[in-house]
Amino acid sequence: RTVYVNGEYLPETEAKVSIFDRGFLMADGVYEVTSVLGGKLIDFGGHAARLERSLTELDMGCPVTMDELLAIHRELVKLNDIDEGMIYLQITRGAPGDRDFVFPDPETTKPTIVLFTQNKPGMANTPAAKVGLKVISIEDIRWGRRDIKTVQLLYPSMGKMMAKKAGADDAWLVEDGSVTEGTSNNAYIVKGGKIITRNLTKDILHGITRAAVLRFAREAQMEVEERPFTIEEAQAADEAFVTSASAFVMPVVEIDGAKIGTGTPGPVAVRLREIYLEESLKTAI
Ligand code: PMP
């Protein structure tokens, strides 16, 4: 695999980052994951805009322009011959000479930028979408700025492990009695034809797939309500699903052992997955 590090395209075995990089020492960095379908980037504009917002919120500079970033994404797709898969992008605050809590001077310490591809042939047609996911609920003990897409992913990782141990696929995070989001996706339920998903605040990541799916749902005259919901309400819903750049729309069929609806992927989730895959390809670049 060819990867990109600070201006260079290199074989992955030759790519190097300093041990003093604040991404490594302090999780001081942000990331984006953009999916590739038919060799094209899905929702690149949305991911680039969120990246700029994450960087601004953390007072971090961007080492490349958005045009350069697009060119790097495309070059990696080409070099690694990706038809279906993902591109991971990470920008960290860089490597000052020593470890210090204080942010380094941006004049002397440049951010580190890394991109690599993940080849996932057949991703759009994954059998998992026909089966649906089982999720468990766990307490959301993450920090209070979940709207910034930082690389602090230890708790979401632990959540996935708790789900695996419980024989499930993923975890939904619960704070003050209501669901915030999944470990790496936004969470939805469907009741009486209405799509319900938590409103956007600092409590959750503002999913790029969420924005697109809600837009497509409204265009298809489906009713959407943005508000928090509880696990009990989800268990009594007709359907549940999650969205993310890498999973697109993925049905959820069980929450804490309780079957949702018939316990199989629901018609709204299945239709939204189809619409998303079709419509997002039209604006892929
Ligand atoms: N919430 C969290 C916590 C996530 O990690 C992700 C995926 N990175 C999402 C939601 C979905 O965001 P997107 O649709 O932009 O991938």
**Mind listing the pLDDT tens digit for each residue in 199-249?**
999 999 999 999 999 999 999 999 999 999 999 999 999 999 999 999 999
Distance 205 CA to ligand 1 centre (A): 6
Query: What is the pLDDT at residue 248?
Result: 98
Quick one: 237 exposed, middle or buried, by C-beta within 10 A (0-12, 13-18, 19+)? buried
- Grouping H, G, I as helix, E, B as strand and the rest as coil, residue 47 is helix
- Pair (10, 103) in one structural domain: yes
Select from 122, 141, 172 the last residue of a domain: 122
Same domain, 140 and 118: no
Same domain, 74 and 143: no
Question: In this structure, what CATH number is given to the domain that contains residue 104?
Answer: 3.30.470.10
Report the run of H or E that residue 11 belongs to, with start and end. Answer: strand 8-11
CATH of the domain at 143: 3.20.10.10
Read off the pLDDT of residues 118-174 as tens digits, 9 standing for 90 and up.
999 999 999 999 999 999 999 999 999 999 999 999 999 999 999 999 999 999 999
C-alpha–C-alpha distance, residues 245 and 124, integer Å: 11
Domain match, 77 and 188 both: no
Residue-level pLDDT at 249: 98
CA of 32 from ligand 1 middle (Å) equals: 9
Point out the domain boundary residue: 99, 122, 145. Answer: 122
> Which residue's CA is minimally distant from atom 2 of ligand 1?
184
Domain total for the chain? 2
Of the listed 120, 149, 165, 282, which one is catalytic? Answer: 149
Residues 26 and 156 in one domain: no
* Mean pLDDT on 252-256: 98
One domain, residues 134 and 243: yes
Tell me: ipTM over 0.95: yes
Residues 10, 3: contact at Cβ < 8 Å?
yes
Q: 120 catalytic, yes or no?
A: no
Question: Quick one: 88 and 169 in the same domain?
Answer: no
Residues 138 and 261 in one domain: yes
For residue 222, report the phi and psi dihedrals to the nearest 5 degrees: -85, 145
SS3 state at 244: strand
| pLDDT for res 48 | 98
Distance from chain centroid for Cα 24: 20
Are 144 and 276 within one domain? yes
Query: CB under 8 Å to 153, separation ≥6 — which residues?
Result: none
Question: Which of 122, 143, 173 is the endpoint of a domain?
Answer: 122
- What does pTM read for this prediction? 0.97
3-class SS shares of the chain: helix, strand, coil, % to 5: 30, 30, 40
Residue 188 sits in the same domain as residue 80: no
Q: Do 81 and 221 have their domain in common?
A: no
Tens digits of residue pLDDT in 41-95: 999 999 999 999 999 999 999 999 999 999 999 999 999 999 999 999 999 999 9
208 lines ligand 1 (CB under 6 A): yes
Atom of ligand 1 nearest to the CA of 246: 16
86-117: pLDDT as tens digits = 999 999 999 999 999 999 999 999 999 999 99
Range of the domain at 30: 2-122
The span from the CA of 266 to the CA of 258, in Å, is 15
Residue whose C-alpha is closest to residue 51's, from 185, 146, 148: 148
Mutate to test the pocket of ligand 1, among 50, 170, 184, 203 (most ligand atoms within 8 A of CB): 184
Q: Same structural domain for residues 143 and 260?
A: yes
